[in-house]
Amino acid sequence: MKYAVFCLLITGCLLGGAKAQNPIIQTHFSPDPAPMVYNGRVYVYTGDDIPGYDFYYMIKWRVASSEDMVNWTDHGSPISLESFSWARDRAWASQCIERNGKFYWYICAQTVDNNVAIGVAVADHPTGPFKDALGKPLISTGSWANIDPTVFIDDDGQAYLYWGNPNLYYVKLNKDMLSYTGDIVQIPQTAESFGGVRKQRSTGDAEAGVEPVKDLYVEGPWFYKRSGKYYQMYAGITNRTECLSYAMRDAPTGPWKYQGKIMTDQPTNSFTNHGGIIDFKGNSYLFYHTGLLPNGGSYGRATAIETFKYNADGTIPSIKMTKEGVQPVGKLDPYKRVEAETIAWAEKCKTSQNENGVFVTGIRTGSYIKVRSVDFGTSSPKEFSATIAAGLDGGILEVHVDSLAGTKLAEIKVPRTGGWQSWKTFTETLAIPVTGMHDLYFVFKGQNITAGRELFNFDYWMFKK
């Protein structure tokens, strides 16, 4: 027995963190990430690129959260185009912010009169339920410029809403966060502010050696303040794709001073980049998107994260995209109910939601879910339980430690439960002790059935001492 414990501990130390962590969500696409720190958790609000489509035809927005930056809980889609009576298509970039215990989620969408407008949904909790606060757009100027809202509340209580493509605009929001005072201000597009000016490229420019675009503001602003300095990150441009660039200023409304490019290595399978920056648990993080999820591309984009350190003068270093992403800054408590859709890495499964919440579905032989930094403490658990629904023959859920082929802690043989939403909790007594910090792998297998058949839905799991 002692030998088994020793092996588990050693294996955990060797393998921890050696695997891919980007993109952070593998069960669906998650473009245009907008992170928000609230109450010890990071929430990331995203769009939802539809697999197989050839444009940004999104119909809903999504939210996921984490307290350790590697295990992300999928909270599903609290709002969609249907939440806004004035919206008809293109659920594009958004950002949510908290003020006085209420959550204001600014979104943009195509309107019924074929322009784009910015609206706002409000909730009492970061994951909703959200409701269109106004029943009409907040910003509507009869143009396609009104995309990509970013919102920030300054230390003096003044809130600012910036947005726009191909120009950058702002208004000063009132304290209700649902109205504004003063005019919409358009920020001048100068090389001093954004590194380049808009120039029409003509056919043959490249061959003729015409100077390539240096940088310029395109879209996707991300406005924030840190140590007394204001930052405006945005999607700029390289010759191949969008990049992330930024400007700084000691005042919230500019004039902005161009600082350079932050991230330029966007793979060419996807044109856009769109990011957000936060500080969390003593680290700084850049959220961005790529087309690097399997079957991804320009219209199948997924959120990724890198950590970075500001330079001493507050400027941002150049940041490279990595597969490894970030390391855990917390641990997962296996003795509390853990939603199956809390995932560090998953393959060949997805998530879905009903009126009771989100669950993992699409599970077949070969599917698996990994969670990281699970802290079993100093004494071993005695039981493992999982809540599952199987409409057909069911299957097998195995729990492995530290790798897909690592020591098998538990095995649950799942029978038919009476339907895909007929949930039953299965409990297994554990024979192998495990203590300390480990990654866990939930490995799914069929029981004498066609390999491709869906096995069961998975709602939550838990260990007991």
Contacting residues toward ligand FUB, per CB under 6 A: 31-32, 47, 56, 92-93, 147-148, 219-220, 235, 272, 274
Least distance CB 28 / ligand FUB (angstroms) = 14
Least distance CB 54 / ligand FUB (angstroms) = 13
Residue pair 292/267 in contact by the 8 Å Cβ criterion: yes
Q: Which is nearer to ligand FUB, 56 or 359 (CB)?
A: 56
Burial class, 6, CB count within 10 angstroms (exposed 0-12 / middle 13-18 / buried 19+): exposed
Instruction: Report d(CA 31, CA 91) in Å as an integer.
Output: 11
> What DSSP assignment string belongs to 90-156?
-----EEEEETTEEEEEEEEEETTSSEEEEEEEESSTT---EESSSS-SB--SSS-----EEEE-TT
Q: Which is nearer to ligand FUB, 31 or 195 (CB)?
A: 31
Q: Which is nearer to ligand FUB, 114 or 421 (CB)?
A: 114
Q: Which is nearer to ligand FUB, 147 or 349 (CB)?
A: 147
Instruction: Report d(CA 91, CA 351) in Å as an integer.
Output: 20
Least distance CB 289 / ligand FUB (angstroms) = 7
Least distance CB 58 / ligand FUB (angstroms) = 7
Helix-, strand-, coil-residue percentages of the chain, each rounded to 5: 5, 45, 55
109-112 contacts at long range (C-beta below 8 A, 24 or more positions apart) = 109/81, 109/84, 111/86, 111/87, 111/137, 111/140, 112/86, 112/87, 112/88
Q: Which is nearer to ligand FUB, 163 or 456 (CB)?
A: 163
Burial class, 429, CB count within 10 angstroms (exposed 0-12 / middle 13-18 / buried 19+): exposed
Least distance CB 140 / ligand FUB (angstroms) = 16
Q: Which is nearer to ligand FUB, 47 or 126 (CB)?
A: 47
Q: Which is nearer to ligand FUB, 12 or 31 (CB)?
A: 31
Q: Which is nearer to ligand FUB, 266 or 387 (CB)?
A: 266
Least distance CB 92 / ligand FUB (angstroms) = 3
3-state DSSP call for residue 6? Answer: helix
Q: Which residue has the tokens 């729990």?
A: 399
Least distance CB 67 / ligand FUB (angstroms) = 27
**Pairing outcome for strands 229-237 and 242-249:** antiparallel
Q: Which is nearer to ligand FUB, 39 or 295 (CB)?
A: 295
Instruction: Report d(CA 376, CA 340) in Å as an integer.
Output: 18
Least distance CB 31 / ligand FUB (angstroms) = 5
Instruction: Report d(CA 285, CA 230) in Å as an integer.
Output: 17
* DSSP annotation of 49: P
Q: With left for phi above 0 and alpha for psi between -120 and 50, is residue 142 left, alpha or beta?
A: left
Instruction: Report d(CA 50, CA 34) in Å as an integer.
Output: 19
Q: Which residue has the tokens 């295990």?
A: 71
Q: Which is nearer to ligand FUB, 119 or 381 (CB)?
A: 119
Integer Rg of the chain from CA: 24
Q: Which amino acid is at 427?
A: T
* DSSP annotation of 297: B
* DSSP annotation of 81: G
Least distance CB 258 / ligand FUB (angstroms) = 19
Least distance CB 50 / ligand FUB (angstroms) = 11
